[in-house]
Chain A
């Protein structure tokens, strides 16, 4: 189990308890956190589950694969700690993770 906090563009916060093994995208969808579309369902094919990882946590989420990197290049308003949340796998290590959501997906 890990506690994950999602902060919407408006500032609204959602903290959820998520099982290890799920992705950060899946934990959001399962817990009704708005703002993550995930059109492709987690196949790293659509770039609509874009999040900004809080700087302190960025290292712990591991790096983006080459595929994810290329997808992120086309995400709107990419930042230094941008990730696709379907590619971040939840583990006990990530207990306390904070991610911010962009204004728009896609």
Chain B
């Protein structure tokens, strides 16, 4: 075995895939994977869906069994928070004093939840939803009839709201913007999901900003809105976005903007250091700009790109991003990134609970939101990758297969 070592900082989707791909691409040296949590890499998407509801058991969350890492000689260092990176000595230092020397380093440090900062926000009963431990905390209070207030109407908050309604909780969603899913979907999709949740009995409040968490005996009693109105709560779930864990990279002198800047091979500004997944701000050739993505697909594919490059194979990253969200019996699948679109075209009818919205920029298809419309979701991928400029009236027509539009 070669004496060279790859250290992977982070044991989420990206870190776990990087370890697997390094072995797949025949990395002959050591691999050390250091994670902050107590768990081997596991799937995060079910945390706000099947795992929260109890439908998916704990054992089924894991991406690979323990035996996989043993068989492929991947050293697992868990509950190890990496505090600093010394580029000169090629060493990472953990908070517990341990140090790991590397020849190549993969930063898969992920992201952390954005926290509420208003008065009362750190009291009992206020939860975030990103880890197994977060969900276990929530589950202890997830009881029929309990009053749940969700702060933030994004994917996480709405998925949690859907599960909570199914389990018989009373649910209020407080969204600061004038529509839910404002950051990730167009207004047609937002309006549809607002209706779906209201029909399911969720009280959706738009333009609702939380100014304080009212506390009683150390525990949440209510969310107080700007203007003074109180929404009583037995528990609160906050889903107001995540922040990239880029501090150790920045302190070490790597170029960091919105996340750690990387090139098409997932390399940072230091040739022996890679960054992948939620923490990386990569250059995307399809959109001709930098972007930082928060998705499983991005984490897995960038892991493969970095592992290939370390093993001497050039596998430049050029992927159409995609995302999904399960709420009630609806599957929302998004292909591409709609930011900057100037025209939206709807195919199908929201009333039929199956439709797609195509987002065009100067005539070019840049993204598609598909609700229970997998053909439109999958068919859009090739169009977006090819930079196709499909005619809006053809996009609108459900009888025209998307593959005819390329």
Using CB atoms and an 8 Å cutoff, list the residues of chain A in contact with chain B.
22, 26, 29-30, 32, 39-41, 43-47, 67, 70-71, 73-74
Contacts and interface: CB of A to CB of B under 8 A. Distances in A.
B326 A43 contact: yes
Contact of A39 (B67, B300, B375): B300
Contacts of B248: none
A89 B174 CA distance: 38
A67 B65 contact: no
Contact of B374 (A26, A30, A32, A67): A67
B96 interface: no
A25 B300 CA distance: 17
A18 B27 CA distance: 31
Interface in B108-140: none
Interface in B352-399: 372, 374-375, 378-379
Contacts of A44: 331
B378 A74 contact: yes
Contacts of A22: 60
A71 B331 contact: no
A66 to B, nearest CB: 9
A45 B300 CA distance: 15
Interface centre among B63, B64, B65, B374 (most CB of A within 10 A): B374
A39 B60 CA distance: 14
A47 B60 CA distance: 19
A44 B374 CA distance: 10
Nearest to B68: A32
Contact of B324 (A29, A32, A43): A43
Contacts of A30: 65
B378 A45 contact: no
Interface of B: 43, 45-46, 60, 63-65, 67-68, 71, 296-297, 300, 322, 324, 326, 331, 333, 372, 374-375, 378-379
A44 B379 CA distance: 16
A3 B382 CA distance: 38
Contacts of B374: 67, 70-71
A30 to B, nearest CB: 5
A40 B378 contact: no
A43 to B, nearest CB: 6
15 contacts: A29-B64, A29-B65, A30-B65, A32-B67, A39-B296, A40-B45, A41-B43, A43-B331, A46-B322, A67-B372, A67-B374, A70-B378, A71-B374, A71-B378, A73-B378
A3 to B, nearest CB: 19
B65 A32 contact: yes
Q: Which 7 A-B pairs have the closest CB atoms?
A: A74-B378, A70-B374, A45-B324, A41-B43, A70-B375, A71-B374, A30-B65
A40 B65 contact: no
A43 B297 CA distance: 13
A74 B64 contact: no
B129 to A, nearest CB: 17
Given A41-B296, A43-B326, A45-B331, A74 B379 contact: yes
A26 B60 contact: yes
A47 to B, nearest CB: 7
B334 to A, nearest CB: 10
Contact of A41 (B46, B67, B68, B331): B46
Contacts of A32: 64-65, 67-68, 71
A40 B374 CA distance: 14
Contacts of B375: 70, 73-74
Given A26-B60, A29-B65, A32-B67, 14 more contacts: A29-B64, A40-B45, A41-B45, A43-B326, A44-B331, A45-B324, A46-B322, A70-B375, A70-B378, A71-B374, A71-B378, A74-B375, A74-B378, A74-B379
Nearest to B42: A41
Contacts of A70: 374-375, 378
Contacts of B67: 32
A26 B296 CA distance: 17
Nearest to B57: A21
Contacts of A40: 45, 296, 324
B354 to A, nearest CB: 9
Contacts of B60: 22, 26
B378 A39 contact: no
Contacts of A67: 331, 372, 374
